[in-house]
């Protein structure tokens, strides 16, 4: 079974209820074993139009699903929770589920999937919760731990990585 780390976020409606529902759906899936979850943090949206703040967290699961099959299941959960099938990048969303790491698999230019997540090294809203549950996890391409990536992002001018508060 593969160890997989997911990012989860919501900034429309009852954000915590959206996260709770998504967690419930993940836990109900027969091919997904829920292992751990970080605390939930409140973060400013990055890019896109003006919108409400996000609640974000990281999740650790174990699964026999292959990466594209897992992505399909995550998209089904997003749609069940109200995210349109076709959406603009950086748009508001009731649910966002992303594969951050899938074992040590590297998919660089996949049509629908990039593993590790293409922007993980620039996003403290992903790295901060992920560092709670996997601080020593090493990015297979960058050869830096999650903790090192978070330290590097935090050392940058405060542009795209500000957190409002823990939630």
Q: Which residues are catalytic?
A: 83, 93, 96, 98
Per the CB < 8 A criterion, the answer to whether 66 and 78 are in contact is no
Per the CB < 8 A criterion, the answer to whether 68 and 88 are in contact is no
Beta-bridged to residue 42, according to DSSP, are 55, 165
Task: Please give the radius of gyration of the chain, using alpha carbons only, rounded to the nearest integer.
Answer: 15
Q: Which residues, 6+ apart, have CB-to-CB distance to 78 below 8 Å?
A: 22, 93, 95, 96, 97
For Cα atoms 156, 159, 161, give the angle at the middle one, nearest 5 degrees. 75
């Amino acid at each position: 079974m593969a160890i997989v780390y997911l990012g989860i976020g919501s900034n429309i409606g009852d954000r915590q209820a959206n996260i709770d529902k998504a967690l419930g759906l993940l836990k109900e899936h027969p091919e997904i074993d829920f292992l751990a979850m970080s605390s939930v943090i409140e973060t400013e949206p990055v890019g896109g139009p003006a919108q409400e703040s996000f609640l974000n967290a990281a999740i650790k699961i174990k699964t026999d699903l292959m990466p594209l099959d897992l992505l399909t299941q995550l998209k089904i959960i997003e749609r069940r929770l109200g995210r349109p099938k076709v959406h603009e990048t950086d748009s508001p969303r009731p649910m966002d589920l992303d594969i951050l790491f899938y074992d040590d698999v590297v998919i660089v230019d996949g049509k629908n999937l990039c593993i590790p997540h293409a922007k993980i090294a620039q996003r403290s809203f992903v790295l901060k919760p992920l560092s709670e549950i996997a601080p020593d996890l090493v990015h297979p391409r960058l050869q830096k731990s999650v903790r090192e990536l978070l330290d590097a992002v935090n050392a940058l001018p405060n542009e795209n990585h500000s957190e409002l508060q823990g939630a």
